[in-house]
Structure 1
Amino acid sequence: MHEPVKAIFTECIQTQIAAADLLQEPVMNAAGLLVDSLLSGRTVFCCGERMAHASARHLAHIMLTGLHFDRPPFPVQALHADFGSKEHEYTFAQQILAAGQAGDVLVALNAGTTAPRVSKAMEAALSRGMLIIALTSDADVDVAGLLGPEDVEIRIPSRNSARVSEHLLQLVNMLCSLAEQQIFPQESE
């Protein structure tokens, strides 16, 4: 009777184990990119497609307010899904074109296969000379193809959008935690 619940927990755990093995280096690279950008006075923008939008908003919130201790806010903005363009696909891109500057960072999240709004935001970011951190799934066919050599992809080892969404939340918490530890090492002691 409880087998479906146990199966979901098992799948979560298996994805966690695979992620722990595969994602250490890209997570550290992404954290380093965030820290370098923040210490240089740059802005971080974040956006997500569908289920990933909530994780993008959460990242902006914890980067502004702090995760582990009181600290000055980091300049991070979540792009709004209900704001801007007459054409739905350009909602995030217009915000990047209006505010993004060379050296800023776009954190792009996608839990599914395609991400038309996120892809357009990435194209806008590239046109502005911005760097990109992409959190994607093994099912992604849009986002990864837009990354350059200076960008970072954290590809969650799952094709199940529910498992990927769970990991997106964990990863944004992890990125904020790592950024706080690197920028304020005295608070980690």
Structure 2
Amino acid sequence: MQDPIKTLFTECIQTQIAAADMLQEPLESAANLLVGSLLQGRKIYCCGESLAHATSRHFAHIMLTGLSFERPPFPVTSLHADYGAKEHTRMFAQQIQAVGQANDVLMVFNACERAPRVSAAMEAALSREMLIIAITHNSDTDIAGLLGPEDVEIRIPTSNSARASEHLLQISNMLCTIIEHRIFPQETDS
């Protein structure tokens, strides 16, 4: 019997290999959409279902403060997760309805099977003519059906929520690095 810890590492590595093969094109599309939006003065809002909301907050933080080098902040906001809200499932949607503008971007993170709060935010974004980037996984049942032709889905090749959560964080770091290097190419020449 294989060591349980080694088994977990093996699962992580296998998911990494599958992701490296499958996610290059959607990562490129997401980076292009984010860079284009930022250069056009659009705003990016992000949220995540359940524990994935921590990744949303992390992404907003590194986009504001910088990841690879010191730079001006990008206009990225993680929506507030007010779990005491009267309409718990609409907490993100209400914020999008209040501040979202056409062609702004909503970036959603999900490592659960169901995503009612994120789905409601996506519906609100669609009503505001916003673009959507969804980072999901194979067991997600709510999000893919809400995406339009100009939206981007990055579907992590796993049904395991723990592996998906690990990749949400990795993908957010990768996107920030790509965006920084595209907007500030002089920083990568040194």
Fold shared by both chains (TM-score > 0.5): yes
Report the Cα offset of residue 177 of structure 1.
0.5
Pairwise CA RMSD of aligned residues? 1.2
User: Is the 1:84–1:91 Cα contact (8 Å) retained in structure 2?
Assistant: no
Report the Cα offset of residue 85 of structure 1.
4.1
Q: Deviations over 1:131-167 (max 9, x none)?
A: 0000001000001110000000000000000000000
For the pair 1:48 / 2:48, whether they are aligned, the reply is yes
Paired position in structure 1 for 2:178: 178
Paired position in structure 1 for 2:106: 106
Q: Map 1:41-80 onto structure 2 (within 5 A).
A: 41-80=41-80
Q: Map 1:1-189 onto structure 2 (within 5 A).
A: 3-82=3-82, 85-189=85-189
Paired AA for residue 111 in structure 1 = A
Q: Distance in 1 between matches of 2:6 and 2:161?
A: 18
Q: Deviations over 1:33-83 (max 9, x none)?
A: 000000000000000001211100000000000001110000000001117
Q: Distance in 1 between matches of 2:161 and 2:51?
A: 8
What TM-score do the two structures reach when normalised by structure 1?
A: 0.98
Long gaps (5+) in structure 1: none
**Identity of aligned pairs, percent?**
69
Moved over 6 A (4+): none
Q: Distance in 1 between matches of 2:150 and 2:175?
A: 18
Paired AA for residue 120 in structure 2 = K
Q: Distance in 2 between matches of 1:145 and 1:108?
A: 14
User: Is the 1:85–1:94 Cα contact (8 Å) retained in structure 2?
Assistant: no
What is the SS of the residue equivalent to 1:42?
coil
What TM-score do the two structures reach when normalised by structure 2?
A: 0.97
